[in-house]
Amino acid sequence: MVESKRAKEVIDTFGVKTDVCRRVEEEFLGKDARLFKVNMDVPGQVYLLDSQEGVEIASQPELVGSDLSAKALALAEKASRIILHMIKDDQTVFLHVLRGSPGYMLHEALRRHTANIREIYIRISSHAVPGESSVTYGSLGEIPSKIENVIVADTVATGQTLESAFKYLVKIGELKGLRFKRVFIYGFLSEPGVKKVATFLDSLDVESVFIGIEDLSALASNNFDMPLYGLDLDLPGKNPLGGTTDTSILEKMIYSYFPGLDQPGDWSERQCILFTGESMEHGRIREHLEKTLARLEASKSKLSDYGWYPEWLERVYETRKRRLEEALTLQHCPM
């Protein structure tokens, strides 16, 4: 596909990689979604799932609460088609990494098609020391003696949290005499996170399949923000960031995504109710919206200073700002 003038400008300015994606024609996926294989130097299979719901969730941070859950379930329904098409064995476990994992709604989508998946729960706590984390909650129930597949829906930024979850699962597996053979990981994924997790799983002789929502993001210096493209908002000077996606996806995203913003946002806080492993709590939706509004202003300012702020981008900015401000006045969850 020959990119438009706008897409070419974004690719050239921020280094978005669009030449490593190949459309995979899958009839089972239907006409409302597309699948792309990413040619990436990792010991695993990497795909991108594209649909209207994915574009909206990734580019509209004001999409929260019940509306987000509905969109996430519709998108997860499409992801479940891909995973179930690839799974050939019944011994499958769904690993919830708390608190954010259930918000992807993949477990709900899978339940509609099969009863052969058992759900387990792990919560990871990050420590002050970079790169360190530990399990603070684990509920594994009656794990099958043989696990062929593990499915995870999670936000993978650095990959540290997910690696810790798998280390815990491996440790428990050694005690119980079980192991798993293949892992499916779905959600917002960064390039560094995919590389880290894929390399770790390969060291265990475990196959990995990654399904990213719309793109593989770049990872900002704060090891949290996962922009499709933009400037690193926490570093001085010009530090452009660009992820990986197909040109046709980028063509759609640039009309609604404001550069520099974290695509998953505070994923947990965008949700109405969160399971901590021990109790239920409310997502801090207002906090997410206020923080995103501040990051939107910071990104606009930095892009202007950088000398790249085309006229069409102002319309994206105005839309995001207006809708974020409107969202702050609304009730997003059932009373």
Read off the pLDDT of residues 189-235 as tens digits, 9 standing for 90 and up.
999 999 999 999 999 999 999 999 999 999 999 999 999 999 999 99
Mean pLDDT, rounded, for 318-327: 98
Tell me the per-residue pLDDT of 91-125, one tens digit each, with 9 for 90 and over.
888 999 888 899 999 999 999 987 678 888 888 86
Cβ 237 vs Cβ 31: under 8 Å: no
Two tokens, residue 248:
């046709």
**Which residues, other chains included, contact 185 with Cβ-Cβ below 8 Å and sequence gap of 6+?**
152, 153, 154, 156, 162, 197, 208, 209, 210, 211
How many angstroms separate the CA atoms of 169 and 164, rounded?
9
CATH of range 5-328; options 3.40.50.620, 3.40.50.920, 3.40.50.2020, 3.40.220.10: 3.40.50.2020
Tens digits of per-residue pLDDT, 291-306?
Answer: 999 999 999 999 999 9
Q: What is the pLDDT of residue 142?
A: 61
Mean pLDDT value of segment 321-328: 98
pLDDT at 136 over 60: no
Interval 147-169 mean pLDDT: 92
CB count in 10 Å sphere of residue 55: 19
pLDDT bin (cut points 50, 70, 90) of residue 141 is: low
Q: What angle do CA 326, 290, 187 make, to 5 degrees?
A: 95
Q: Which residue has the higher pLDDT, 133 or 285?
A: 285
pLDDT at residue 128 in the model = 40
The whole-model pTM stands at: 0.94
- What per-residue confidence (pLDDT) applies to 114? 78
Q: How far is 98 from 10, CA to CA, in rounded Å?
A: 35
What pLDDT does residue 134 have? 55
Spatial contact of 105 and 112, defined as CB atoms under 8 Å apart: no
Structure tokens at 178: 């079980």
Q: Answer whether residue 335 shows pLDDT above 90.
A: no
Q: How far is it, in rounded angstroms, from Cα 154 to Cα 94? A: 11
To the nearest whole number, what is the mean pLDDT of the chain?
A: 90
